[in-house]
Structure 1
Amino acid sequence: MWLSGQATGSTAPPVLAGTLDVRFTDIDVPGYGPVRTRTYNGSVPGPTLRVRGGHQLRLTQVNGLPPNAPSSGGGGHNTPHHANSFNLHTHGLHVSPSGDADNVLREFAPRTAEEAAAGVAEPQYVTSIQVPHGHPAGTYWYHPHLHGSTAEQIVGGMAGVIVVEGDVDEVPEIQAAADIVVCINELKLKDGRVPAFTSGGWTAGVPSTFTVNGTVNPTLRLRPGEVQRWRLVAATGFTALSLSLAGGDGAPTVHQIAQDGITFPRPVALDRVELAMGNRADVLVRAGVPGTYELRAPGLPGPLMTVEVAGDPVVPPMALPAVLPAGRPFLDERDITDPDADREVILHADAGVFAGAFPNAFRMLGTGATPAADPGADLTRDPAYGLFDPSFTNHTLRLGTVERWNVRTDESLPAHGHPFHLHTNPILLTHRNGVRLDPPVWHDTIGLTGGTPGDRVTFLVRYDDFTGRTIAHCHQLHHEDLGMMQSVEYVE
Structure 2
Amino acid sequence: MPELPWVRNDYAGTYDADLFFGAGEEGTPYVLIRTRAYNGMVPGPLIRMKACRNYRITVHNMLAEYPVGKTGTGSGQYDPTWTNLHLHGLHVSGDAPSDDVLTVNIQPGLSFTYTYRIPCDHAGGTNWYHPHKRGSTALQADGGAAGMVIIEGSVREAANTPVAYGTVPEHMLVVQEIVPYGANELAENAAAAEDQLLTVTTNTRASYWNGMTVKVEANLWQRVRILNVATTYNTVLTITPVNPVGGAPCSVVLLAKDGVFVASLPRSVPAEQSIFLSLSSRVDLAIRCPAIVSTRANAGEIVAEHHIRYRHIKHSGAAELPDTDIITTIANIVVYSSARPVAPNLPVWQPCRPAYLTKLAAPSGNPRPVAAIAVAALDGIPLTLGSTVQWDVSFSFLHPLHTHVNHMQLGPITAANQWSSLPGWHVAGDWIDTLAAPGTVPVYIRPERYTGKMVVHCHVAYHADSLGMTAAMAISGSGDGPNDIPVVTNFGTCITAPPKNQPYTVNAPFAITSFGAKMLAYKFDRGGEGIAYKNYNIGRRAILNLDRINTGIVRNDGASVEIDYSSAFGRFFVTRVRNSEWMLYTVNIQTAGVYSAALHVAAPFREDQAPITMNWSLWLDPSSGSGCPNPGSSALLVRVRDDGWKGTGPTAPAPIRAHPEAVVSRLKFNLPTGVHTLSLCFEGSAGGFELYYLEV
TM-score band w.r.t. shorter chain: 0.7 to 0.9
Listed as ranges, the matches of 1:4-83 within 5 Å are: 4-5=7-8, 7-8=10-11, 12=13, 15-25=14-24, 27-29=25-27, 34-66=32-64, 69-71=68-70, 77-83=74-80
- For 1:417, the equivalent position in structure 2 comes to 398
What is the alpha-carbon distance in structure 2 between the residues aligned to residue 69 and residue 159 of structure 1?
Answer: 22
Listed as ranges, the matches of 1:193-342 within 5 Å are: 194-197=186-189, 198=191, 207=205, 209-211=207-209, 215=210, 217-247=211-241, 250-264=248-262, 265-270=264-269, 271-290=273-292, 291-299=304-312, 300-312=326-338, 314-317=340-343, 319-328=345-354, 329-333=357-361, 336=363, 339-342=364-367
User: 2:401 matched to 1:427?
Assistant: no
Q: CA deviation at 1:156?
A: 1.3
- For 1:446, the equivalent position in structure 2 comes to 435
SS of equivalent residue, structure 2 residue 329: coil
Q: CA deviation at 1:279?
A: 1.0
- For 1:375, the equivalent position in structure 2 comes to none
Bigger drift between 233-242 and 125-134 goes to 233-242
Contact persistence 1:293–1:306 (CA under 8 A) = yes
**Compared CA separation, residues 68 and 448, structure 1 to 2 (3 A):** farther
The residue type equivalent to 1:345 in the other structure is: V
**Compared CA separation, residues 180 and 72, structure 1 to 2 (3 A):** closer
Q: CA deviation at 1:174?
A: 2.6
Contact persistence 1:228–1:284 (CA under 8 A) = yes
What is the alpha-carbon distance in structure 1 between the residues aligned to residue 5 and residue 71 of structure 2?
Answer: 39
**RMSD of aligned Cα (Å):** 2.8
**Aligned sequence identity (%):** 24
User: 2:128 matched to 1:137?
Assistant: no
What is the alpha-carbon distance in structure 2 between the residues aligned to residue 144 and residue 229 of structure 1?
Answer: 28
**Compared CA separation, residues 125 and 484, structure 1 to 2 (3 A):** same
The residue type equivalent to 2:446 in the other structure is: R
**Compared CA separation, residues 286 and 209, structure 1 to 2 (3 A):** same
- For 1:464, the equivalent position in structure 2 comes to 448
SS of equivalent residue, structure 2 residue 464: helix
- Counterpart of 2:146 (choices 149, 159, 175) is 159
What is the alpha-carbon distance in structure 2 between the residues aligned to residue 143 and residue 343 of structure 1?
Answer: 30
User: 2:476 matched to 1:491?
Assistant: yes
User: 2:484 matched to 1:477?
Assistant: no
Contact persistence 1:330–1:428 (CA under 8 A) = no
**Compared CA separation, residues 253 and 83, structure 1 to 2 (3 A):** same
Q: CA deviation at 1:187?
A: 1.1
**Compared CA separation, residues 419 and 28, structure 1 to 2 (3 A):** closer
**Compared CA separation, residues 237 and 435, structure 1 to 2 (3 A):** closer
Q: How many residues align?
A: 414
The residue type equivalent to 1:104 in the other structure is: V
**Compared CA separation, residues 109 and 307, structure 1 to 2 (3 A):** same
Bigger drift between 431-440 and 99-108 goes to 431-440
**Compared CA separation, residues 246 and 456, structure 1 to 2 (3 A):** same
SS of equivalent residue, structure 1 residue 481: helix
**Compared CA separation, residues 16 and 272, structure 1 to 2 (3 A):** farther
User: 2:388 matched to 1:402?
Assistant: yes
Listed as ranges, the matches of 1:163-174 within 5 Å are: 163-166=150-153, 167=157, 171-174=162-165
**Compared CA separation, residues 131 and 95, structure 1 to 2 (3 A):** same
Contact persistence 2:15–2:55 (CA under 8 A) = yes
Q: CA deviation at 1:78?
A: 0.9
Unpaired segments ≥5 residues, structure 2? 194-202, 293-303, 313-325, 419-425, 478-696
Per-residue displacement from partner, 1:377-424 (whole Å, max 9, x unpaired)?
xxxxxxxxxxxxxxxx44211111111111101x8xxxx621111111
SS of equivalent residue, structure 1 residue 251: coil
Q: Which has the higher strand share?
A: 1
The residue type equivalent to 2:90 in the other structure is: L
Contact persistence 2:106–2:112 (CA under 8 A) = no
Contact persistence 1:89–1:145 (CA under 8 A) = yes
What is the alpha-carbon distance in structure 1 between the residues aligned to residue 192 and residue 70 of structure 2?
Answer: 15
Unpaired segments ≥5 residues, structure 1? 112-121, 349-362, 371-392, 450-454
What is the alpha-carbon distance in structure 1 between the residues aligned to residue 31 and residue 204 of structure 2?
Answer: 16
User: 2:102 matched to 1:105?
Assistant: yes
Q: CA deviation at 1:275?
A: 1.2
The residue type equivalent to 2:285 in the other structure is: V
**Compared CA separation, residues 206 and 341, structure 1 to 2 (3 A):** farther
The residue type equivalent to 1:442 in the other structure is: W
Contact persistence 1:186–1:208 (CA under 8 A) = no
User: 2:174 matched to 1:180?
Assistant: no
**Compared CA separation, residues 208 and 465, structure 1 to 2 (3 A):** farther
Contact persistence 1:59–1:127 (CA under 8 A) = yes
Q: CA deviation at 1:223?
A: 2.7
SS of equivalent residue, structure 2 residue 77: coil
Bigger drift between 250-259 and 169-178 goes to 169-178
Q: CA deviation at 1:331?
A: 2.6
Contact persistence 2:87–2:127 (CA under 8 A) = yes
Contact persistence 2:310–2:327 (CA under 8 A) = no
The residue type equivalent to 1:178 in the other structure is: P
SS of equivalent residue, structure 2 residue 411: strand
Bigger drift between 57-66 and 220-229 goes to 220-229
**Compared CA separation, residues 399 and 139, structure 1 to 2 (3 A):** same
- For 2:515, the equivalent position in structure 1 comes to none
- For 2:371, the equivalent position in structure 1 comes to 346
**Compared CA separation, residues 49 and 16, structure 1 to 2 (3 A):** farther
Contact persistence 2:69–2:80 (CA under 8 A) = no
What is the alpha-carbon distance in structure 2 between the residues aligned to residue 231 and residue 137 of structure 1?
Answer: 12
Contact persistence 2:390–2:442 (CA under 8 A) = yes
What is the alpha-carbon distance in structure 2 between the residues aligned to residue 182 and residue 32 of structure 1?
Answer: 22
Ranges of 4+ aligned residues in structure 1 off by more than 6 Å:
none
Per-residue displacement from partner, 1:95-141 (whole Å, max 9, x unpaired)?
00012100011343334xxxxxxxxxx21111111111110111111
The residue type equivalent to 2:49 in the other structure is: V
Contact persistence 1:257–1:284 (CA under 8 A) = yes
SS of equivalent residue, structure 2 residue 463: helix
What is the alpha-carbon distance in structure 2 between the residues aligned to residue 87 and residue 199 of structure 1?
Answer: 20
The residue type equivalent to 2:361 in the other structure is: E
What is the alpha-carbon distance in structure 1 between the residues aligned to residue 342 and residue 305 of structure 2?
Answer: 22
**Compared CA separation, residues 136 and 332, structure 1 to 2 (3 A):** same
